[in-house]
Structure 1
Amino acid sequence: MQLDLNLLAALDALLEEGSVAGAAARLHVTAPAMSRSLGRIRRTTGDQILVRTGRTMTPTPYAIAVREQVHELLHQVQGVLAPSRELDLATLERTFTLRWHDSLVALSGPALLTAVRRQAPGVRLRFVAESSTDTPELRRGEVDLEANANNPSAPDIRAETVGETPLVIVVRQGHPLTRARTLTAQQYADAEHVSVSRRGNLSNALDDALAHLGLTRRVVATAPTEAAALEFARGSDLLISVPEATTRSAAADPGLAVLPLPLELPPAPVYLSWHQRYDTDHAHTWLRGLARTALATCAAPPSAPSGRLTPPPTRSP
């Protein structure tokens, strides 16, 4: 029996997306064409692969059992068939789409763009905003690189930690907390807060840390970006708690002050993520290297926080 390797890609997409429409969008084919591919897969394997349960499609036990094997086989085939010619940056013409956290775009985007323009003037970068929900653009090939604090769990998404940064507090200059010799967890909890969340979440790991100390804080608003949250802080007594790397412009702003966080929390990681289909893509590998350098530079913590308070003493919870 002659096998069509296109069916392997179709099966991988169907198992990942869990629907004909999603798999069709991922492979840039029509839904009827993907339905025909599913029919051929069913005839070849003797299994239904996906069965309808209400309004959704559910993978069969066989499909679940072979999902990882299909991933690996497709990856191997792509590696064998991918051209191995050397990359000519001077003549490379390609557009990359990057979905980065807004503060990382502001901090690392200029350095990355400068490096790209210097080495490969024919390459264009599309920085797009993060979504308020988890979306599959990485898997569909619509986004080439992500950079944020989220470590993806999907087996076909590669991710590496390129840096980390401690959390700090930003308040307006002249805020009552700037006059305290040592900021305490109680003072921090008693203040009114703006939380930064693209999903509008009113609580996060900070609230868990406060709860361990028997404290709670009052979040009066959320902002989708740190830039917006800084504006809330600038004109009020509200405070925001954000990664230190994203506040370096605020540290130089005469209207804002950066203070150390009086809680014991691990630093926030910065992850760089991409789909495994690009592992052997020379141009993508080159871009990842430049992005890794730019992000690592911005995420590397400075020698000391830039606030005007001395760091609080270490406390036991």
Structure 2
Amino acid sequence: MTLVNSPEPVVDAHLAVALDALLAEQSVTRAAERLHTSPAAMSRTLARLRRILQDPLLVRAGQTMVPTPRAQALRDEAASVVRRLGALLSPGAGVDPANLRTTFTLQAADLVGAALAPGLLELARQEAPGVSLRFRAEELEAGPALRDGRIDLEIGAIDHVDPETRIDELATLRMVAAVRPGHPLAEKPLTPARLAAAEHVGVSRRGRFAGPLDTALAEHGLSRRVTVVLPSHLAAMTLAARSDVVCLIPTAPAGAAPSPFTDAAVALGLRLLDIPLPLPPVTIGMAWHPRHAADGAHHWLRDAVRRTLRAPGVPGDPA
């Protein structure tokens, strides 16, 4: 003898909604009006529910219909199921930052982190006190790290181009020379020759000695001497504050509002000198994975980063 398994019942959300309406209204006509359908269609749905549940559910009592004991037992559960379905299939509601309880992980170079952390922390204290921030150095390959959720945002000079990564530009900066108070370069107008003759500290995670300044100097037949390369801007600025080396740091364009990127230099007492050469600007951006694009908590984080680093009037969140 062959045993045939009976098929699994098909879950039909429309039936759950119809059952809730019928049990709440105790009327085929009113249930049809509630669901914007015809009484005939609702009557057919009631017949189908009766077959599935093997119970009449609603029975005639004079001019009205009354629920059976099974229907009375199902009423609250049906209403709860429909509420959960509505929540499941509704667009994501806006998030109140005050109710957030989460930790965001941001990957950034030390100078970017130093520029961002104070303002971002202050915004979190004011708007989202349950949010914690974790800053990581540029130690992970950002594309895969964003993709697998090890970091929520990458902030800095975005140099990877993954097709799915969303990128938003935050600030365009120019490079200036930072020197200690009393440095010989600060005593006279800075020229390419005087800049080339000074001793320099380079900043490179990969240990590179040359950069855009060397290209610009070479066009004038000049070269500089980089005596040390450090992986951190903050370490390089500290060295510049205690010696005669020159450190290049990013700051706001001429005439723009003060940049938080120079706060650390100011705190160390460094003098900032305009470089008399055309150097390419530095674009600071943030990158995130598109799975976070519609997430309310992540949207607050991106907006908070913008408000901390971006000049007023720049367009908002890209699609």
* TM-score interval, normalised by the smaller of the two chains: 0.5 to 0.7
Distance 1:104 1:196 in 2: 14
Q: Does the CA-based 8 Å contact 1:151-1:159 persist in structure 2?
A: no
* Corresponding residue SS for 2:238: helix
TM-score, normalising length: structure 2: 0.63
State the match for 2:12 in structure 1: none
C-alpha RMSD of matched pairs (Å)? 2.4
Establish whether residue 230 from structure 1 lines up as the match of residue 230 from structure 2.
no
Q: Does the CA-based 8 Å contact 2:196-2:222 persist in structure 1?
A: yes
Q: Does the CA-based 8 Å contact 2:143-2:160 persist in structure 1?
A: no
* Corresponding residue SS for 1:136: helix
Q: In the alignment, which of 212, 217, 236 is matched to residue 219 of structure 2? A: 212
Query: Over residues 133-153 of structure 1, what are the superposed CA-to-partner deviations in whole Å (9 max), with x where a residue is unaligned?
Result: 666211211100111122431
Q: Does the CA-based 8 Å contact 2:178-2:240 persist in structure 1?
A: yes
* Corresponding residue SS for 2:243: coil
Q: Point out where structure 1 has 5 or more consecutive residues left out of the alignment.
A: 1-79, 301-317
Q: Point out where structure 2 has 5 or more consecutive residues left out of the alignment.
A: 1-87, 252-258, 315-319
In the alignment of these two chains, the number of paired residues is 218
Q: In the alignment, which of 153, 163, 166 is matched to residue 174 of structure 2? A: 166
State the match for 1:33 in structure 2: none
Establish whether residue 198 from structure 1 lines up as the match of residue 213 from structure 2.
no
State the one-letter code of the partner of 1:212.
E
* Corresponding residue SS for 2:97: coil
State the one-letter code of the partner of 1:108.
L
Query: Over residues 119-162 of structure 1, what are the superposed CA-to-partner deviations in whole Å (9 max), with x where a residue is unaligned?
Result: 22222211111228666211211100111122431111111111
* Corresponding residue SS for 2:98: coil
Distance 1:142 1:83 in 2: 26
Q: In the alignment, which of 277, 297, 304 is matched to residue 291 of structure 2? A: 277
Query: Over residues 185-229 of structure 1, what are the superposed CA-to-partner deviations in whole Å (9 max), with x where a residue is unaligned?
Result: 111111111011122111112212222222211111111111100
Change (3 A) 1:213 1:282: same
Query: Over residues 240-296 of structure 1, what are the superposed CA-to-partner deviations in whole Å (9 max), with x where a residue is unaligned?
Result: 111024333323544x32111121123211111111111111111111011111011
* Corresponding residue SS for 2:310: helix
TM-score, normalising length: structure 1: 0.63
Identity percentage of aligned residues: 42
State the one-letter code of the partner of 1:263.
L
State the one-letter code of the partner of 1:251.
V
